[in-house]
Amino acid sequence: MRVLITGGAGFIGSNLSRYLLENVEGVQVRIIDDLSTGRLSSLDGLDVDFIEGSILDYPTLLAADEGVDSIVHLGAIPSVPRSVAAPRPSHEANATGTLNVLEAAREAGVDHVVVASSSSVYGSNPALPKNELVWTRPMSPYAVSKLATEGYALAYQSSYGLKTLPFRFFNVYGPLQPADHAYAAVIPKFLDAALEGQPAQIQGDGLQSRDFTHVDTVCAVITEAVKNKTSSEYPVNLAYGTNTTLLELLEEMESQLGFPIDREHVEPRTGDVRASQADGIRIKELFPNVKPAPLADGLATTIEWFRSIKGSEGDNESR
């Protein structure tokens, strides 16, 4: 089996590459990534075919599709606040980039494409938990671009018979998720601050809640989808129905780290959703063999990785 991962040097893509190589006999992994947000170091030790290039470069993308059985499309400019600051690049990478991926797949004869959407598409819909058939109301340019991502995938399924599977990711976290940039996700930001002895910066009151999903759970689901060429006629929430506030998240981190974490409350972010939780029904129906990692277990592996990184940074500074 040959799998192309767009954005494969990013956080989820590099974890997926490792997971595929460790769990699927004879798999060949090819990656296309322009390294604008991904890191080549995340692929250290992995036997992958790496192509440095953008999904906006159609000829390069088309060449990357040669001989591929399935595509996992993760390439994007992530982050709600980044899209608020610069909406056009998010649209071009996320919406136009997805159109390129699907059209190249069609032209190259690749019959199965998994695409990454986001829980942010639900936006101002207050319903909890959320199932895939409730209405969407995006609150940020990023969310709009992800709604376009899944819309294009489903349109190519209807128009051209391409097997597609749009996943709505919910706050994925785990090892290899960077904390050293302005738009870092909340778990690496909190852990980085705690291990540096700095206060965790909380946007708002900290009672906003999220359905945190460990990256290995995401990788297990995508791997099953690729192996079986699973498709769906509507988007699928890739989350299992947990509902954790940021204050509860900090309490669990304190328990595992063994020391208190100072808090600093700041203004809420523009475009942020107050509460996000999947109902977990459809994902369990499609992938009954995947058992999601509990938050406590997922945080343990994430903290272990962060501590190893901090240790290696200290070693480098002492040399």
pTM > 0.85: yes
Q: Is residue 263 part of a domain?
A: no
Q: Is residue 95 part of a domain?
A: yes
Q: Is residue 154 part of a domain?
A: yes
pLDDT at 199 over 70: yes
Residue 318: per-residue pLDDT:
36
Tell me the HSE value of 151 on the side-chain side, using a 13 A CA sphere: 11
Across 81-87, average pLDDT: 93
CA–CA gap between residue 305 and residue 206 (Å, rounded): 25
Residue 183: per-residue pLDDT:
64
What is the tally of helices (H) and strands (E) in the chain? 11, 13
Residue 224: which CATH number? Answer: 3.40.50.720
Across 143-158, average pLDDT: 98
Sign, CA dihedral 292-295-297-298, equals positive
pLDDT in tens, 294-318: 999 999 999 999 999 877 554 444 3
pLDDT at 275 over 60: yes
Q: Is residue 270 part of a domain?
A: no
Q: Is residue 112 part of a domain?
A: yes
Q: Is residue 121 part of a domain?
A: yes
Sheet containing strand 2-6, edge to edge, reads: 49-52, 28-33, 2-6, 70-73, 112-118, 163-169, 236-238
pLDDT in tens, 128-148: 999 999 999 999 999 999 999
pLDDT at 248 over 90: yes
Residue type, 117: S
Domain span at residue 31 reads 2-170+213-238
Q: Is residue 245 part of a domain?
A: no
Q: pLDDT class for 286, splitting at 50, 70, 90?
A: very high
Q: Is residue 227 part of a domain?
A: yes
Residues β-bridged to residue 210: 244
Question: In total, how many domains does the chain have?
Answer: 1
